[in-house]
Structure 1
Amino acid sequence: MVLTGRRPPRRRVAVAVTALTSAIALGAAGCTGADRDMFRPGAADAGDPYVPGHGNGGYDVKNYHLDVRYDPATDRLTGRATITATATQDLSRFNLDLVGLQVGAVTVNGTRAEHRRDDGELVVTPPDGLSRGRPFTVAVDYAGVPTAVSDGALGSGGFLHTADGAVALGQPDSAATWFPVNDHPSDKASYELAVTVPDGLSALSNGVPGPKSSADGWTTWRWSERTPMASYLSTLVIGDYRVVTGSHAGQPMITAVAASLPATGGAAGSLARTGEIVDFLASRFGPYPFESYGGIVVADDRVAYALETQSRPVYGPAFFADDRPNPGVVAHELAHQWFGDSVSLTRWGDIWLNEGFASYAEWLWEEHDGGRTAQRNFELQYASTDWSQPSVEPGRERMFGAAVYKRGALAVHALRRTVGDATFFRILHTWTTERAAGSGTTADFVALAERVADRQLRPLFDAWLVGGAAPTLP
């Protein structure tokens, strides 16, 4: 995530809350009577204080299969979500996060299930309890006019209706505005998407493109992201776009720029460097972790940020204002493919693990591209940092503050200066390899760094990430 620096007015956050769980009856016949008494509801919250009410407990999602249809003329979305999951406890009922949309039928393992709405939660009660460790499938039919959500730091997100289509995007929440979901990064899953839109419009999303088909004035676009993805990294961009389809390193490369933006120059020229930037970052961080590449530049000024949506980041138009190139923001969002996307957060209080490394990648890229060295950027940032603000547990209101981004980057370079280049890059490679497609915490990273470096590093991280005074330069 990168902000343009413009802070939209603070608005009330629309909270998406729910909980998903596993379903399969106990044995072949299910559970009834006394057996049912041993089952209990899954938690309606992931327990993360930075996003109260988001996420759910009692199950682990494996895959989302989404089949949606969107008509920009009416702003109406209809969809069916088929979700496969595994129960992590004996479940009597479970929740899914879903904001605003109306729900029709809900089935669990092919059988009608009771359901009700509780604000942003869809509460599902299957006819039989779902046994711990067993897979289950829940299908939800839903429809309505999707809503946007607002965040004091980022402005508009969620499902945004635009002049020619829509943009579904946002951090920390957006997914629940257009499909039922366990909306917390601790529960990653693979995704398959089929989205049907009027002929002539593009429908862009994450992952590898599939075959398109058309009938009766509508076109269905298909996408597949097989590597586990956090829900906030999913995106759907619909409208009039200049789409460039190619390949890089034998994998699909899809970039797109809104047709209302210049055809050449800043946005298009910056996205054209995606492969070059990925190759450079791979030389520092390890192999690129996904099966496709790309990027999307939208024209909606409400998107005053860039977001690392998995395999295909989305950029707001202000990053390329006056048609100026901006490869630095591309480097930032592509670095997130390793730090934040492949290795995701277990909890939002550790968001520096995403933003500190992505900000440091900007310094690495600038040096590689003939600009200031990483050391010079480190010196300039060190001199201007407010050391009273911590990078770890910055507080909900400062999730996207300078301490998370810039102080986080300072800590990364301080680690490099302390352990030397060879050990430093071995630490990064080990983290992105051992934790690939998973998640981690600050404590996990410190422990790994100490193991690889074979020395104590906790005092270094404490000083650079959370200490209240300027640390001594290593």
Structure 2
Amino acid sequence: MRRIVAPLSLLLASAACTSIPAETGGYPEPLVAPILTSPEALDTSTYARPQEARVTHVELDLDLDFAKQRVGGVAELRLLVAPGEERLVLDSYGLEIEKITDSRGAELSYSVGETVEAGGKGAPLTIALNGARNIRIAYKAPADASALQWLSPEQTAGKVHPFLFSQGQAIRNRTWIPTQDSPGIRQTWAARITAPKPLDVVMSGVRQGEPEDLDDGRRAFRFVMDKPVPPYLIALAAGDIDFKAIGPRTGVWAEPSVLPRAHAEVADTEEMVVAAERLYGAYRWGRYDMIVLPPAFPFGGMENPVMTFLTPTFIAGDRSNNGLVAHELAHSWSGNLVTNATWGDSWLNEGVTTYFENRIVEEVYGKKRAEQEAALMYANIQEVLAEVGSDEPGTALSTDGEYELGSAIAYDKGAFFLRTVERIVGRERFDGWLRQWFDGHAFQPATSEMFLADMMENLVASPAEAEALMLRDWIFAPGLPANVAKPDPAAFAEVDTAVAAYTASGAIPAAYAGWTAAEQMRFVDNIPKDRTAAQLAALDTALGLSKTGNNEILFLWLELALMNRYEPAVPQVEAFLAEVGRAKFVRPLFTVLWNEGDWGQPIAKRIYAGTRGSYHAATRAGVDRVLGWTE
């Protein structure tokens, strides 16, 4: 399917797309993406009925109230409504609706349905349109909106000003924006955001001019995203932040004291953009900027268009963890340009992106590093399959189950699927196919069935090749197919030899200090887990594990220490968990403590009682489940 830029009345009408006549009420026609209507494209996480009435554009005029920790104002929605339909259904979770009107100011009646807490689905907001095709919703987000994290000055690097950031994926934006919160209902948007001086505001849209000084000690910032995006990609951050350019279209924001280190860490970003374009076509979003957030940010990164959000925990001083930057950049093609229509197909975002990330790493840092990082991915898959079983339905790429960020299946199995296809058909053919996939589905939603059909039509050369590729097994069956292209066993030959030597005799490798970060992680993660206090002390003394500046390695050390009830590590674990809110680190460390019974559970409870309030809702939810925590 091609990108839709024609008048709305010419939207493609087929078994897979909905066609609704245009009634834009005098607004300029927005770029409108199709709605998929095939059965596998049904998104059960939304209340929206986009075949009847859909949101095509959102305009926000919102005030950030740091004193009350509330966001409120007006959302104006432009709609596309099918003939004979006069009902619009939006997603809402705790939104306080003050009034809904049409473009002339006439009030429209509405109702809020019963809230479904499970999965954060919230409640349907149903509006009687009475002919309106543009509506205005005056509202406030709830004080506990799970998409928003308000940080006190003490939780920032500067310790002077508060901070706010949003995290919308997967379905949290319905807690602060009244819209149809589904990845398959793409929308353009614009925003005017006011915040107190001297705070700066950034969003996942292009800033329009300089901020406007207001009479009340505040400033107004304006942003536009003129390309249709899934609603979870509408994001903002506000705080005491500065900017430093990297290249002609790249740069980084961070708190002033963090900015020099952040800039040095991501200095290769412009080169990465060039490498990505060389692989799979033009970068279509204009600028590629990043913001390094305070450590309470719950994920490694979030691919918000034109403004990637990053955790400071990736800063190691040697750019060894900025495969993370390559990953979020790659989302500008896979995930943002072409998006999974439902969260059960999240591998279309994350697996394709993880493959693309590895190709960028190879282009910029060389094949050895790329192969080592791929080997770590493969080990993640093997670990998950060993834990849950190769027949577990959730280990299929396309599932009906709950979408979980960070899954070794969606990310790593998805990447190895594409590595396997590349290995069989050849890199040149595969790259040509993937580029045409991005071009042919730009700014549109997609499903696994569409991905498979496109491969069969535009990549597979013969029935024999189709059989060798095992495409349907890869996408819809659990486990790893027999044809998986395993990583090069030589990638970690020296490290694996050192692991074997340490296992046999306790010999700690003298070469460790000269290894890459990936090699160091491989060693620490693969040595025997059952260690005495003396053995752990020897490792720490020889390798400097507790003093490493790489948080990925530090996490592996702390995890190993807790597994063995190593008391000297407890203060460092407590300090780490008090500062870092990244779910990838926080949840596993609390899990290890909890699994250590009478020794670890009191420590976990004590630490969590002091840190829970500083964690984002996404991090909190995972740890709550582990500890059985109730407020």
Q: Does 1:264 align with 2:260?
A: yes
Q: Does 1:289 align with 2:278?
A: no
Q: Does 1:97 align with 2:94?
A: no
Q: Does 1:403 align with 2:375?
A: no
Which range moved further: 96-105 or 380-389? 380-389
AA aligned opposite 1:327? N
Q: Measure, in 1, the Cα distance between the counterparts of 2:438 and 2:193.
A: 32
Q: Cα distance, 1:209 vs. partner?
A: 1.2
Give the direction of change, closer, same or farther, for the CA distance of 1:121–1:22 in structure 2 (3 Å limit): farther
Normalising to structure 2: TM-score of the pair? 0.61
AA aligned opposite 1:221? F
Give the direction of change, closer, same or farther, for the CA distance of 1:22–1:60 in structure 2 (3 Å limit): farther
AA aligned opposite 1:121? P
Q: Cα distance, 1:445 vs. partner?
A: 1.5
**Map of 1:279-428 to 2, 5 A cutoff?**
279-320=274-315, 326-368=321-363, 369-370=365-366, 372=368, 374=370, 378=374, 381-382=377-378, 385=382, 386=385, 387-388=390-391, 389-393=395-399, 395-396=401-402, 398=404, 400-428=406-434
Q: Measure, in 1, the Cα distance between the counterparts of 2:370 and 2:141.
A: 49
Which of these residues, 113, 125, 128, is aligned with residue 125 of structure 1? 128
Q: Measure, in 2, the Cα distance between the counterparts of 1:67 and 1:366.
A: 40
Q: Cα distance, 1:467 vs. partner?
A: 4.6
Q: Measure, in 1, the Cα distance between the counterparts of 2:377 and 2:125.
A: 46
Q: Which residue of 2 aligns with 1:8?
A: none
Deviation track 1:15-42 (CA, whole Å, cap 9, x = no partner) reads xxxxxx99979xxxxxxxxxxxxxxxxx
Which structure's residues are more often helix, by fraction?
A: 2
Q: Which residue of 2 aligns with 1:463?
A: 473
Between 1 and 2, higher relative CO (CA 8 Å, sep ≥ 6) is seen in 1
Q: Cα distance, 1:397 vs. partner?
A: 5.6
SS in 2 for 1:284: helix
Q: Cα distance, 1:99 vs. partner?
A: 2.5
Which structure's residues are more often strand, by fraction?
A: 1
Q: Which residue of 1 aligns with 2:201?
A: 203
Give the direction of change, closer, same or farther, for the CA distance of 1:297–1:370 in structure 2 (3 Å limit): same
Q: What is the number of equivalent residue pairs in this alignment?
A: 414
Q: Cα distance, 1:432 vs. partner?
A: 0.7
Deviation track 1:78-119 (CA, whole Å, cap 9, x = no partner) reads 211111110135323222223223222211342320123234
Unpaired runs of 5+ residues, structure 1, are: 1-20, 26-45, 131-135, 150-157
Give the direction of change, closer, same or farther, for the CA distance of 1:380–1:67 in structure 2 (3 Å limit): closer
Normalising to structure 1: TM-score of the pair? 0.80
SS in 2 for 1:313: strand
AA aligned opposite 2:150? H
Q: Measure, in 1, the Cα distance between the counterparts of 2:227 and 2:220.
A: 22
Q: Measure, in 1, the Cα distance between the counterparts of 2:403 and 2:72.
A: 34
Q: Cα distance, 1:379 vs. partner?
A: 5.6
Q: Which residue of 2 aligns with 1:10?
A: none
CA RMSD of aligned residues (A): 2.8
Deviation track 1:320-366 (CA, whole Å, cap 9, x = no partner) reads 26796532100001101100001111111111111112111232133
Deviation track 1:245-292 (CA, whole Å, cap 9, x = no partner) reads 5763xxx54521134x52322x32233332221111111111112122
Q: Measure, in 2, the Cα distance between the counterparts of 1:347 and 1:390.
A: 15
Which of these residues, 138, 144, 154, is aligned with residue 141 of structure 1? 138
Q: Cα distance, 1:313 vs. partner?
A: 1.2
Q: Does 1:274 align with 2:269?
A: yes
AA aligned opposite 1:418? I
AA aligned opposite 1:240? D
AA aligned opposite 1:214? D
Q: Cα distance, 1:473 vs. partner?
A: 4.5
State whether residues 24 and 109 of structure 1, in contact with CA within 8 Å, keep that contact through their aligned partners in structure 2.
no
AA aligned opposite 1:225? M
SS in 1 for 2:259: coil
Deviation track 1:37-59 (CA, whole Å, cap 9, x = no partner) reads xxxxxxxxx9524x2x4544322
Give aligned-pair identity as a percent: 25
Q: Which residue of 2 aligns with 1:17?
A: none
Q: Cα distance, 1:419 vs. partner?
A: 1.1
AA aligned opposite 1:446? L
Give the direction of change, closer, same or farther, for the CA distance of 1:377–1:330 in structure 2 (3 Å limit): closer
Q: Cα distance, 1:206 vs. partner?
A: 1.4
Which range moved further: 70-79 or 413-422? 70-79
Which of these residues, 61, 65, 78, is aligned with residue 72 of structure 2? 78
Q: Which residue of 2 aligns with 1:232?
A: 232
State whether residues 207 and 291 of structure 1, in contact with CA within 8 Å, keep that contact through their aligned partners in structure 2.
no
Q: Which residue of 1 aligns with 2:166?
A: 168
Q: Cα distance, 1:308 vs. partner?
A: 0.9
Give the direction of change, closer, same or farther, for the CA distance of 1:116–1:366 in structure 2 (3 Å limit): same
Which range moved further: 213-222 or 443-452? 443-452
Q: Does 1:88 align with 2:82?
A: yes
State whether residues 332 and 358 of structure 1, in contact with CA within 8 Å, keep that contact through their aligned partners in structure 2.
yes
Q: Cα distance, 1:391 vs. partner?
A: 1.6
**Map of 1:214-225 to 2, 5 A cutoff?**
214-216=213-215, 217-225=217-225
Q: Measure, in 2, the Cα distance between the counterparts of 1:422 and 1:225.
A: 34
Q: Cα distance, 1:402 vs. partner?
A: 0.6
SS in 1 for 2:97: strand
Give the direction of change, closer, same or farther, for the CA distance of 1:205–1:350 in structure 2 (3 Å limit): same
Compare CA radii of gyration and give the structure with the larger one. 2
State whether residues 93 and 129 of structure 1, in contact with CA within 8 Å, keep that contact through their aligned partners in structure 2.
no
Which of these residues, 179, 182, 188, is aligned with residue 181 of structure 1? 179
State whether residues 22 and 91 of structure 1, in contact with CA within 8 Å, keep that contact through their aligned partners in structure 2.
no
Give the direction of change, closer, same or farther, for the CA distance of 1:444–1:297 in structure 2 (3 Å limit): same
Q: Measure, in 1, the Cα distance between the counterparts of 2:317 and 2:371.
A: 30
Give the direction of change, closer, same or farther, for the CA distance of 1:232–1:114 in structure 2 (3 Å limit): same
